[in-house]
Structure 1
Amino acid sequence: MRVAVGSENPVKVAATERALPDASAEPVDVASGVPEQPCGRDQTITGARNRAAAALEATGAELGVGIEGGVAHVEATEGLFLIMWAAVTDGDRWGVGGGPSLRLPAPVAARVEDGDELGPVMDDLLDTENVAERQGAAGVLTGERIDRESSLVHAVASAAGPFVTDRY
């Protein structure tokens, strides 16, 4: 099965390949249609859906996959959280699924709430580059117990449910 991934980020492509091991993943640079740093569940899911639809349209693959990381406040708790959502479509049907949510440390959250993007904030704090294309904030904030790729695998696998089982 040919699957178009709405990103050229190698972590997102690898997560899709792990979630859909029988698929051939084709990265496609597409716009999310949301701010670079999506805020809230709605914006983050919309970005994932937009990426999936645009990737499918650009390639004619069997499925389009969109993955979006964002930040959100979560009811019943304090702080700002990193959130991850994925969307999968065949052009008619949709699947949407989320990955883990991790509370951001207060200094990181403050910078993100002031308008900075999470990836560059993490790069700055760690004095590195492209943490989003390696372990991601998820890896850094969990002491490598999880990483960005494994977090995104769960989001993509959850979104792919309608396409890998007849339960829907």
Structure 2
Amino acid sequence: MKILIGSKNPAKIKAVQAAFNHYSSEYVALDIPSLVNSQPLSDRETIEGAINRAKGALATHDGKIGIGLEGGVEKTDFGLFLCNWGALVEEGKPPIIAGGARILLPEEIAKHLIAGEELGPVMDRFTRKENIRHHEGAVGIFTNGQINRADMFTHVAKLLVGQYEYRNRK
């Protein structure tokens, strides 16, 4: 089965491969735009980004399914929460959607996002590292390495795989 991944981000690729590890699959990572803001600021926008990546992957290449994974934030009365969403698209069927765990971002990070900055560069400055989003991610920093970005997206990807298997059971 050929699985099209709507991102070249290593954490997202690793997550999809881990979720589909019980399949004999070929993975194709594609640079598909989310068509939402570079820093999604709501669940709705983050879900739209994931769906757009999945649909875009399937529309531009030949494959069985398209997977889109998107990270964002959601503002609540308790503060700004990190969120992640995923979508799995098959030709002629509605998207399968799943969301993952959430953590409250520290105010010193949240204020930059509310002011219009993107989480990745903010985290790079905060940690004095480069490309945090391709490695442990903000979740890895703020959970002291207990959960990293690939782990968070693997959880979402497994939710997608399970729904895919349920929908296509015979």
TM-score interval (norm. to shorter): over 0.9
1:63-82 → structure 2 map (5 Å cutoff): 63-74=65-76, 77-82=77-82
In structure 2, the residue matched to 1:90 is: 90
User: Distance between the aligned counterparts of 1:139 and 1:59, measured in 2?
Assistant: 32
1:47-126 → structure 2 map (5 Å cutoff): 47-74=49-76, 77-93=77-93, 94-126=95-127
TM-score w.r.t. structure 2 length? Answer: 0.93
Question: Match of 2:82, as an amino acid?
Answer: L
In structure 2, the residue matched to 1:14 is: 14
Question: Match of 1:9, as an amino acid?
Answer: N
**1:163 to partner: Cα distance:** 1.8
User: Distance between the aligned counterparts of 2:102 and 2:86, measured in 1?
Assistant: 13
User: Distance between the aligned counterparts of 2:166 and 2:116, measured in 1?
Assistant: 40
Give aligned-pair identity as a percent.
34
**1:159 to partner: Cα distance:** 2.1
Q: Report SS of the residue matched to 2:41.
A: coil
Deviations 1:68-120 (A, max 9, x none): 0001123xx50101100000011222210011111100000001100110011
Q: Would you say the 8 A contact 1:52–1:87 is kept in 2? A: yes
**1:160 to partner: Cα distance:** 2.6
Q: List alignment gaps of at least 5 residues for structure 1.
A: none
Q: Would you say the 8 A contact 1:82–1:104 is kept in 2? A: yes
2:29 pairs, out of 19, 27, 30, with 27
Q: List alignment gaps of at least 5 residues for structure 2.
A: none
TM-score w.r.t. structure 1 length? Answer: 0.94
Q: Report SS of the residue matched to 1:160.
A: helix
Deviations 1:5-43 (A, max 9, x none): 000111111100001111322100111110000010100
Task: Work out whether 1:144 is the aligned partner of 2:155.
Answer: no
Q: Report SS of the residue matched to 1:97.
A: strand
Instruction: Count matched residues.
Output: 166
In structure 1, the residue matched to 2:133 is: 132
In structure 1, the residue matched to 2:45 is: 43
Deviations 1:142-161 (A, max 9, x none): 00010000100111111233
